[in-house]
Amino acid sequence: MNVQISNVVYKNIVGTSATKEAINLACSASFPCQGIQLQNVSLSYGNNEAQSLCKNAKGLGITSVKPPLVC
């Protein structure tokens, strides 16, 4: 069974990630995520710069996101 994620908003999130990869949007190739919005997100990884991963996510709305999300 496949599920498509759509129209989700992540807003006003501040914190520290337990792993270097603070943001991971990994969606299905058959049913990519759509209409995902990230607004005012700031995540760190200890004293190091956090990273993000984006796979099969389309139609993102991004405003002030750290680490930067490249899709």
- Structure confidence by residue, pLDDT tens digits, 8-32: 999 999 999 999 999 999 999 999 9
Residues 23-71 have pLDDT tens digits of: 999 999 999 999 999 999 999 999 888 999 999 998 888 899 999 987 7
Six-digit token string for 45 = 């990884």
- Reduced to 3 states (helix: H, G, I; strand: E, B; else coil), residue 24 is strand
CA 7, chain centre distance (Å): 13
Its pTM stands at: 0.83
Q: Please answer whether residues 51 and 67 qualify as being in contact, where contact means their C-beta atoms are separated by less than 8 angstroms.
A: yes
